[in-house]
Amino acid sequence: MKKAARDLCVFKTPAVKAGFILISILAVDFMVLFAGGTEFAFTHLMYIPIILSAFFFGIKGAIVAALLAGISLGPWMPVNVKLGVMQSSGGWALRTAIFVLTGTVLGDLMRQIRINMETRLQRSWINEDTGLPNIKKLKMDIDDRIRKREEFSLVVVRITNLDHINRYVDYRVGEKAVFKVIGSLESLMGRNVYSVFPNEVAVILPGYGLERAYAAARKFQESFQKPVVIGKLPVSLITKCGISNYPLHGGDPVDLFKTMGRTLDQDRFDGQGIAVYDDSVSRKNKEKYETLIALYEALKNDEFTLVYQPIFDLNSNKIAGAEALLRWENSRNMNTAEFIQIAEDAGIIGEITKWVLENVICQLKKWQEQGVKIKASINLSPRDLKSDVILRHTENSMQTVEAGRNMLDYELTERVLIENISEVEELLRRIRAAGSKILLDDFGTGYNSLIQLIRLPIDCVKVDKAFIDHIDKESCRILIQEIISTAHQLGKEVIAEGVETEEQMLLLKKMKCDQIQGYYFSKPLRPEEFREFCVSFDLLNV
Ligand code: C2E
Ligand code: MG
Ligand code: MG
């Protein structure tokens, strides 16, 4: 907006400004002449070019304009044109003197205003705590260098434990720690240091390529390997450096500024705690963002479908149920686990789970009407367990479609750490009381398998495919056998996931695994295919 206003402004060059002032003076002269002479009020209009001149050119400009204005209204300008009465020299000289005085005062006033504004502007570029230029100034300086096409590297330093120091040691120690970092940067990399955030400083290294900048950052990191003494207190500062370079990492000032800021967030630090900007990470983040938008659209436009993978019971030789798995046509070459992860990170997984839930319940009802009475399990994300929304939604949906109870189970992945374990425990008990079973999915791939098995009200353990893949190895067989026996002793059933061969199936049967799921028995099927599969399977097993 401001820029647009600036573009519209016609007074772009000093010559145009001076020209306008001269024309204004002449215009006033003509007006005075046509109005009948200086005894009429139009001489006061001469203050306009004087004010403009003070504004454009300061004191000197205002004085020159005032002299020109005074002289142009001088000896040849009649007091009264009609009567042919001319001015006295004292009269026009006095007027000229008043114009000059006014111009001087106005010019000085403008100068004061300018200085004031300048000081304010300068202040808005300074970080009050450190006295260093701030992020605004950093952005301007980066823009400036890019405009001049000067190569530079930017090192951004974050003190990752500053918050901790402020909170648990003393904020004054924290303040001094920031100055230690600034001091070290200034001595190693020069004076172009900026305060970006309370725990972040940046330094522009003019003419530095990536390698040189990396070497400087390494020296800086080394200087903080040992605790630094702050007020007799040894304090360990944990610092991380992110490095980016112009022109290597882009030429658009806006993009480059964002790029540079992101280096520290890419979490790709080497052993020295230094990360060099990597555009592939940014590209991935952009893709993630686009996928997220597309996921919202998919929910709105009903682009999701469900497939059902049969689960086979090794004891009864029957189909024990099915796992509902989400599919998205427009998944941009991403597999289900990948787009589910994006939905989880963005916090829209709850909406997806609701969609899955409603559709599975409808499908179960449809199959029931077609004579196929089968159970299905759906996958829950740990985020779904933060409230009882899903439980309430299940109850409502069940009522609407009047599907039988005990037909819907829930799979809870073991890969992710459950933070609020007591609340989850309570919620799972309520889900079970409502007639559903809880299956612990991907068992063995997380880092808290056993404790979850003991603490949470689990009915069934799904041994992850990673174990089944190596079932031909004795050590893996021992482990699987242990999992099966332990689960059985704890009164839980076991499903083996990802069973692909007859050999694997036979070994699992020997180990008394209860059920299997995998390509050996069937791939995930579309609803109609699944119904046909169940019908033909039943016929074969009569
Ligand atoms: P999961 O729950 O462990 O599902 C099993 C995955 O293994 C499925 O992949 C299935 O197609 C695949 N699979 C089954 N048998 C075999 C086999 O014999 N060989 C091989 N190579 N793979 C087999 P899918 O459908 O791509 O799903 C991947 C993961 O995405 C799921 O793992 C689950 O964690 C998640 N997921 C899928 N649908 C949903 C959903 O509706 N909600 C949530 N929150 N997560 C879901
Ligand atoms: Mg699952
Ligand atoms: Mg699994």
Q: How many residues does the chain have?
A: 542
* Residue 173 forms part of a structural domain: yes
* 318 pLDDT higher than 50: yes
Distance 323 CA to ligand 2 centre (A): 7
Nearest CA to ligand 1 atom 25: 325
Residue at 167 is within a domain: yes
Q: Does ligand 1 have an atom closer than 6 angstroms to the CB of 326?
A: yes
Which of 82, 104, 124 is a domain's end point? Answer: 124
Report the alpha-carbon distance of residue 226 to residue 229 in Å, rounded: 10
Last residue of a domain, one of 62, 96, 124: 124
- CB of 379 within 6 A of ligand 1: the answer is yes
Which whole number is the average pLDDT over 346-369? 91
Strand, coil or helix: what is 192? coil
242 and 367 assigned to the same domain: no
Please work out whether the CB of residue 356 comes within 6 Å of at least one atom of ligand 1.
yes
Q: Does one domain contain both 198 and 120?
A: no
- Of 140-149, 234-243, 279-288, the range with the lowest mean pLDDT is 279-288
Q: What share of the chain has pLDDT > 70, as a percent?
A: 95
Give pLDDT tens digits for 93-136. 999 999 999 999 999 999 999 999 999 988 899 999 999 999 99
Examine the domain organization and report whether 20 and 66 are in the same domain: yes
233 domain-assigned: yes
Answer yes or no: do 159 and 108 share one domain: no
Best substitution site from 308, 311, 340, 464 to test ligand 1's pocket, by max atoms within 8 Å of Cβ?
340
Q: Do both 163 and 107 map to the same domain?
A: no
CA of 493 to the centre of ligand 3 (A): 15
Q: Provide the residue range defining the domain that includes 185.
A: 135-277
The verdict on residue 130 lying in a domain is no
Q: How far is the CA of 36 from the centre of ligand 2 (A)?
A: 97
Q: What is the pLDDT of residues 3-19, one digit of tens each?
A: 444 555 677 788 999 99
* Model pLDDT, residue 231: 82
Task: Examine residue 291 and state whether it is found in any structural domain, yes or no.
Answer: no
Same domain, 105 and 147: no
Same domain, 190 and 79: no
Residue 208: pLDDT above 60?
yes
Nearest-ligand number for the alpha carbon of 337: 1
Q: How far apart are CA 216 and CA 220, in angstroms?
A: 6
Instruction: Kindly report the average pLDDT of the chain as a whole number.
Output: 89
Q: Which residue's C-alpha comes closest to atom 7 of ligand 1? A: 498
pLDDT digits (tens, 9 = 90+) for 517-540: 999 999 999 999 999 999 998 766
Mutational test site, ligand 1, from 295, 304, 308, 336, max ligand atoms within 8 Å of CB: 336
Say yes or no: CB of residue 518 within 6 Å of ligand 1: yes
pLDDT at 404: 60
Please tell me which residue, 520 or 346, carries the higher pLDDT value: 520
Q: What is the CATH number of the domain that holds 455?
A: 3.20.20.450
Is residue 350 within 6 Å of ligand 1 at its C-beta? Answer: no
Could you report the per-residue pLDDT of 407-466, keeping only the tens digit for each? Answer: 899 999 877 767 778 888 888 998 888 889 999 999 988 766 677 788 889 999 999 999
Q: What does pTM read for this prediction? A: 0.66
CA of 294 relative to ligand 2 center, distance in Å? 24
- Look at ligand 1, atom 42, and give the residue with the nearest C-alpha: 379
What average pLDDT does this structure show over 233-254?
88
The pLDDT-based confidence of 191 (bands split at 50, 70, 90) is: confident
Q: Which residue matches tokens 């026009």?
A: 92
Nearest to 465 by CA among 481, 441, 447, 484: 441
- What ranges make up the beta strands (E) of 152-303? 152-159, 193-197, 200-206, 228-230, 233-235, 239-246, 274-276
Predicted confidence (pLDDT) per residue in 248-268, tens digit = 887 777 777 777 777 887 778
Residue at 339 is within a domain: no
Would the CB of 340 count as within 6 Å of ligand 1?
yes
Over residues 129-154, the pLDDT tens digits come to 999 999 999 999 999 999 999 999 99
Mutation pick for ligand 1 pocket among 325, 462, 525 (CB with most ligand atoms within 8 Å): 325
Question: Where residue 160 sits, what CATH number does that domain have?
Answer: 3.30.70.270
Three-state SS string over 439-490 comes to: EEEEECCCCCHHHHHHHCCCCEEEECHHHHHCCCCHHHHHHHHHHHHHHHHC
Predicted confidence at residue 289, as pLDDT, reads 85
CB 77 within 8 A of CB 36: no
Q: Does 280 or 73 have the greater pLDDT score? A: 73
What is the Cα–Cα distance from 195 to 126, expressed in whole angstroms?
Answer: 8
Work out whether the CA dihedral 259, 262, 268, 272 comes out positive or negative. positive
Calpha distance 529→535 (Å, rounded): 10
As for how many domains the chain has, the answer is 3
Same domain flag for 170 and 66: no
Which of 80, 102, 124 represents a domain boundary (last residue)? Answer: 124
Please state, in angstroms and rounded to a whole number, the distance separating the CA atoms of residues 68 and 90.
Answer: 17
Q: Are residues 156 and 79 in the same domain?
A: no
Give me the DSSP letters along 292-325.
HHHHHHHHHHT-EEEEEEEEEETTTTEEEEEEEE
Looking at the fold, whether 80 and 228 belong to one and the same domain comes out as: no
- The answer to whether position 116 is within a domain reads yes
* Same domain for 162 and 59: no
Domain check: are 56 and 146 in the same one?
A: no
Q: Does residue 308 contact residue 376 with C-beta atoms inside 8 Å?
A: yes
Compute the distance from residue 378 Cα to the ligand 2 centre, in Å: 7
How much is the pLDDT for 320?
Answer: 94
For CA atoms 529, 531, 536, 538, the dihedral sign is positive
Q: Residue 249 domain-assigned? A: yes
